Structure 1
Amino acid sequence: MAAARHKVTLGHVSESDELPESPARSTFTVAFVVGVSADKWARVWAERMPHLPLVLRLVDDAGALEALDGDADMTLARLPLEIDADVYRAIPLWTEMPVVVAPKDHPISVVDSVTLAELEDENLLEGRDDDALDLVAAGVGVARMPQSVFRATGRRDVKAREISDAEPTRIALVWKAGPPDDSVDEFVGIVRGRTAQSSRGTGGEAAAEPEKKTERRQPPRGPAAKAKPVHRTGLRALPRSKKSGGKRRPR
């Protein structure tokens, strides 16, 4: 039975979730948005806090703060959000690269990145879920989302390219302001890479210096890797790369 205490569970936060009646925690709950992977932190938590099981709950972006009104002790939210400093404490963690997702045969497939101006004439679809990406794959339009969200979909029937001049989003660890809490301090330390021997104590306040972490830009594959630089006035005018005739240059 003791091994069950190390189990990390996944679920969804609903509006009907209520705070536990007892002030003493039986679990420690962290909500997180799509695109965030908390597995490595869960493993460290299980090693350091075996007496307090960690529960992970998946929420959408809009429900990240609302989760703290339910049974979530902390939440990994996507900024920007309206965060009242008198109510919440927040530590920004890393930024996310914005991408545009388009059909595989779209002109963006031969470039490394695009600009917002080049997307002005595109039909921008709402949403980041599979339904929106189904429409993208069918050629109805394009979708914009953080790169981490696109990777989480695992879709291979569409292409994603960086939007070089778009404002990035940021992931932050958020919790309600209150008296010092050892469990909250412990999770903050785990997320920030603090060792078990390090001193703890956030004092209920956010750290002054956030961790600096950005998503790595992946090298292009396939046609995009061979495409020559092009001068662009709009995506629809983008020329496709041409294959060489197989002639060798004279040495």
Structure 2
Amino acid sequence: MERREATGPAQHEVFRLGYVPGATPAKWARVFRSRHRDVTLELVPLAASEAERAVTDGLVDAAILRPPVDREVLHAIPLYAEEPVVVVSRDHLLAALDESEAVAPADLADDVLLQPADDVLHWAGAPGAEDGAISPPGTPSLEVPQTTADAFELVAAGVGVLVVPRSLARLHHRKDVTARTLTDGPTAPVVLAWSIERENERTEDLIGIVRGRTVNSSRGRPAQAQAAPKEASGAPRTKPAPARGARKPTRKPRRRR
């Protein structure tokens, strides 16, 4: 991936926001574009395995990705955490469950669990796993799919089951597989990451947007709005004009001596 610069007679500033499969940057992109019409925002799709390096190498200015990230070179703030689902073939016993019914890890004890090379869940022993993370249920597959898309192919063929964040189940949805919520499984956190060395004003603007700052907040509004003149502290104060139709106060008659 090569970094491209804006060209042409009217060269706009370009801000590149990367995102991994399943991430949804659209709502934040809309707000950013509405506040910075003089900046070209490019949304750059990234493979999960390439996202961190894309930020580190400056191919994107920031990225919505899944941890872990190297905190020595990148800043990261949490955005949200996705719940896991188990994906099974239409012929699987769990497919007979109602879509509102959840599955526990113990229900997968007799299944072959597919874990692709680009797995984003933090099972016990995986990089970024928290203390107390659960171990993968079932029997590990002898075959390691290279991608999540490859794993869906194997699920459809009845080779095994797959646990992924719900967004990836939607992204790779197909008619011959189905998904059910997995309780007590590892969640999939999503963060906004950017380079410590290349933090800039636009990055700060994006941070404010994802944190919900309004355009009128001190760190979330355009510079021209922040520079709006305030009333001078030494300006003379004038009394408000009386309302139309209001009675004028009558003078107290003087006493005759």
With the shorter chain as reference, the TM-score category is 0.5 to 0.7
Q: 1:142 to 1:60 in 2, by over 3 A?
A: same
Q: Which residue of 2 aligns with 1:105?
A: 91
Q: 1:70, CA displacement in angstroms? A: 3.5
- Check whether the contact 2:19–2:63 (CA below 8 A) recurs between aligned residues: yes
SS of residue paired to 1:144: strand
1:200 aligns with 2:219: yes
1:70 aligns with 2:89: no
1:89 aligns with 2:75: yes
Which whole-Å CA distance do the structure 2 matches of 1:156 and 1:70 have between them? 39
- 1:53-110 superposed Cα distances (whole Å, 9 cap, x missing partner): 011111122211111113200011112x1422x3211111101111110011312121
Q: Which residue of 2 aligns with 1:229?
A: none
- Check whether the contact 1:19–1:70 (CA below 8 A) recurs between aligned residues: no
Q: 1:116, CA displacement in angstroms? A: 2.0
1:41 aligns with 2:28: yes
Q: 1:185, CA displacement in angstroms? A: 1.0
SS of residue paired to 2:66: strand
SS of residue paired to 2:39: coil
Q: 1:178, CA displacement in angstroms? A: 3.6
- Check whether the contact 2:82–2:188 (CA below 8 A) recurs between aligned residues: yes
Amino acid at match of 2:192: L
Q: 1:141, CA displacement in angstroms? A: 1.3
State percent identity of aligned pairs: 37
RMSD, aligned α-carbons: 2.5
- 1:135-154 superposed Cα distances (whole Å, 9 cap, x missing partner): 21121211111111111223
Which whole-Å CA distance do the structure 1 matches of 2:163 and 2:212 have between them? 31
- Check whether the contact 2:52–2:69 (CA below 8 A) recurs between aligned residues: no
- Tell me the TM-score normalized by structure 1: 0.66
Where does 1:149-188 land on structure 2 (aligned, <5 Å)? 149-178=168-197, 181-188=200-207
Which whole-Å CA distance do the structure 2 matches of 1:126 and 1:180 have between them? 35
SS of residue paired to 2:43: strand
Which whole-Å CA distance do the structure 1 matches of 2:105 and 2:12 have between them? 47
Q: Which residue of 2 aligns with 1:243?
A: none
1:29 aligns with 2:16: yes
SS of residue paired to 1:65: helix
- Check whether the contact 2:83–2:188 (CA below 8 A) recurs between aligned residues: yes
Amino acid at match of 1:73: D
- Check whether the contact 1:95–1:170 (CA below 8 A) recurs between aligned residues: yes
Which whole-Å CA distance do the structure 2 matches of 1:172 and 1:154 have between them? 24
Q: 1:25, CA displacement in angstroms? A: 7.8
Q: 1:49, CA displacement in angstroms? A: 0.8
Unaligned runs of 5+ in 2: 6-10, 117-146, 221-257
Q: Which residue of 2 aligns with 1:207?
A: none
Task: Mark the structure with the bigger radius of gyration.
Answer: 2
Which whole-Å CA distance do the structure 2 matches of 1:108 and 1:75 have between them? 36
- Check whether the contact 2:86–2:182 (CA below 8 A) recurs between aligned residues: yes
Q: 1:173 to 1:82 in 2, by over 3 A?
A: closer
Unaligned runs of 5+ in 1: 1-13, 202-251
Q: 1:179, CA displacement in angstroms? A: 7.0
After superposing on structure 2, the runs of 4+ consecutive aligned residues of structure 1 that deviate more than 4 Å are: none
Q: 1:180 to 1:173 in 2, by over 3 A?
A: closer
Q: Which residue of 1 aligns with 2:111?
A: 122
